[in-house]
Amino acid sequence: MSLYKILLFFLLIINLNFQEYEIDSLIENKHYIAAEKAIINSIQQNENDELLIKKLGDCYGYMRDWDKAIIQYEKLVEIDNNNATYNYKLGGTLAAKANDTNKFKSLALINKAKKYLIKSVEIDKKNKPARWALIQIFTELPQFLGGSKSIALQYANELEEMSLIDGLFAKKYIYDFKNDNKMSKIFNTQILEKLESFNAQYDYNYLNYSIGSFCEANKSNLDKGILYLKYYIENFTSRDRSTPDQAFYLLAKIYYYNNDFSNAKVQLDNAISYYNSNQIDNQSVYREMIMLKKNLDK
């Protein structure tokens, strides 16, 4: 190989690495439109680059453009249908789209989502996010539409074998949703007993929010609650279920419990600002925010 070809080869490698770094930086800083353009330019050089296809799908997911995200993840599943991550991403995005569509279309999307999520956990026995998604689907769907508390609990048991905290919160979530106060209290007590031992930042952001919300609701381990709610806000993407205004509001309440009224005001202002600027429609929570603001302004 000539020196010219060797230099050309290394320049190509350097250019590809730079493009990948640029794309990752844009996504990390939530510049999704710019990242989308950069990825599309790179994909033109290699249409079957799985990493680029995945990043493009992720970009669309962060922008809540579910249809475009689904197209990218379908490409990945077509390339490798035995990849647990690809099946999870496709199933999870179909479920997210179902939440944003009308009831007539949502059931078909949910059933399709279940198929890919179930395949994901069959391929990867340690796939926690896919199990969480299945727990939420089987818990929230009415039984006559395919919901099942027993199947949800089965996945919660599998989660608990991998991670005690995931399992306990999953079971509490199931019993809370089903209004089973007796069982919910049992798991509430178990979580309180174990809370001191839960110290990691969790990749599944829903769990970070759950810990923070739990600490606020029980007025226990409030410093831990602050920490996990901040984790949630820092790692928030449009895929997450609870919007940041809710996390800011919980932070404000915790600071209020601690008589730290200055920080309570800051976080409450953050909550109200985010709520208004993002046109969120949750009047009951907004009324609670305004009531707390009146108390803080006294």
User: Alpha helix (H) ranges present in 63-203?
Assistant: 66-79, 84-99, 103-123, 128-140, 149-162, 164-177, 181-194
Say how many C-beta atoms besides its own lie within 10 A of residue 33's C-beta. 10
Give tens-digit pLDDT for 8-51.
444 444 444 446 667 788 888 888 889 889 888 888 878 888 99
Which percentage of the chain shows pLDDT scores above 90? 69
pLDDT (0 to 100) of residue 24: 80
Q: For residue 230, give both structure tokens.
A: 């901040």
Give tens-digit pLDDT for 222-273.
999 999 999 999 999 888 889 999 999 999 999 999 999 999 999 999 999 9
Q: Is the pLDDT at 96 greater than 50, yes or no?
A: yes
> What is the rounded distance in angstroms from the CA atom of residue 146 to the CA atom of residue 217?
31
Side chain identity at 235, as an amino acid letter?
A: N
Q: For residue 265, give both structure tokens.
A: 């005001």
- Please check whether the domain covering 199-298 is classified as CATH 1.25.40.10: yes
pTM as predicted: 0.85
Say how many C-beta atoms besides its own lie within 10 A of residue 166's C-beta. 24
> What is the rounded distance in angstroms from the CA atom of residue 127 to the CA atom of residue 88?
9
Residue written as tokens 């005690």?
164
Give tens-digit pLDDT for 130-182.
999 999 999 999 998 899 999 999 999 999 999 999 999 999 999 999 999 99
